[in-house]
Amino acid sequence: MRPALVVAATTVREALRERLLHNLLVFAVILIASSITISQLTVGDQYRIIADVSASSTQVFGTLIAVFLSVALISRELDRRTCYPMLARPIGRGAFLAGKALGLLAVVTLNGLVMAAASLATISAYAGASAVPLSAFAAAFALMILQFAICIGFAALFSTFTTPTLATVYTLSFVAAGHVFSEIRSFWLTDKRVELKWLVRVLDYVLPNMGLLDLKEAITYRDPVQWASLGWRAGYGMAYAVLLVAMGAVIFARRDVR
């Protein structure tokens, strides 16, 4: 465990120096703050626009940060063989990959907290602090961080056997497929015209169901948080992300890196 934590600490320091991270974060915060101006374009129900734009900005920019940062810090390092000095030390490959993923998760969580704080400040500035549904807000942003964790998991998995460009493409494709599939699965499962329902069932479990980790709607409509459901969702997200990193570790352990 200790070697993994050392790698994680190194990864955090390395990630915080990435300019891409700072640029995307600044864009996200600017977009969140500008949601007040965007909301002035409508009549009535402006809170909704601010809440939607803030949460969506966090989700989109957080996903981009997670994917590009992960590929940059794992895939690039393996591709350029800059990880060799580290691997020459008494540290397992699995611990190395887990440490990388853990460090990236820490950085992405920090980013998520910054964007959550910006969102909270923006919504409070418009509607007052008492108008913010705090439990829904916390639940939605916590699940968003688990979405980012899944992005890191995919990036870690693909980084172990392909190039940085392909790792980025594959990761974004699987995340997008997870979003699309969570919307259309109900139609596929209920519509009589769609055959091969067994395949839909298989895909339903293989692809990440990003819709289950998306509670932005709870902020928009100030829905009460169902804590049991939140627990299951969080368990699903964590298990899926850890599974991806574990699969990556298995592949990485068998890879010839000479």
Q: From the list 49, 73, 139, 143, which residue makes contact with other proteins (rule: CB under 8 A)?
A: 49
Q: From the list 20, 129, 180, 253, which residue makes contact with other proteins (rule: CB under 8 A)?
A: 180
- Would you say 104 and 14 are in contact if contact means Cβ atoms under 8 Å apart? no
44 in contact with other proteins (CB under 8 A): yes
Q: From the list 1, 17, 19, 41, which residue makes contact with other proteins (rule: CB under 8 A)?
A: 41
- One DSSP character per residue, the chain reads -HHHHHHHHHHHHHHHT-HHHHHHHHHHHHHHHHHHHHHTTSSS-HHHHHHHHHHHHHHHHHHHHHHHHHIIIIIHHHHTTTTHHHHHSS--HHHHHHHHHHHHHHHHHHHHHHHHHHHHHHHHHHH-GGGS-HHHHHHHHHHHHHHHHHHHHHHHHHHTTS-HHHHHHHHHHHHHHHHHHHHHHHHHHH-TT---HHHHHHHHHHS--GGGG--HHHHHTTPPP-HHHHHHHHHHHHHHHHHHHHHHHHHHHH----
Residues 82-111 that bind other proteins (CB under 8 A): none
30 in contact with other proteins (CB under 8 A): no
Closest separation in Å from C-beta 41 to other proteins: 5
- Would you say 75 and 163 are in contact if contact means Cβ atoms under 8 Å apart? yes
256 in contact with other proteins (CB under 8 A): no
- What is the distance between the alpha carbons of residues 135 and 139, in angstroms, rounded to a whole number? 6
What is the total count of residues that contact other proteins (CB under 8 A)? 28
179 in contact with other proteins (CB under 8 A): yes
Closest separation in Å from C-beta 217 to other proteins: 7
221 in contact with other proteins (CB under 8 A): yes
Nearer to other proteins, 29 or 102 (CB): 29
Nearer to other proteins, 98 or 108 (CB): 108
Closest separation in Å from C-beta 49 to other proteins: 5
168 in contact with other proteins (CB under 8 A): no
59 in contact with other proteins (CB under 8 A): yes
Closest separation in Å from C-beta 57 to other proteins: 9
> Where does this chain bind other proteins (CB under 8 A)?
38, 41-45, 48-49, 52-53, 55-56, 59-60, 176, 179-180, 182-184, 187, 210-211, 214, 216-217, 220-221
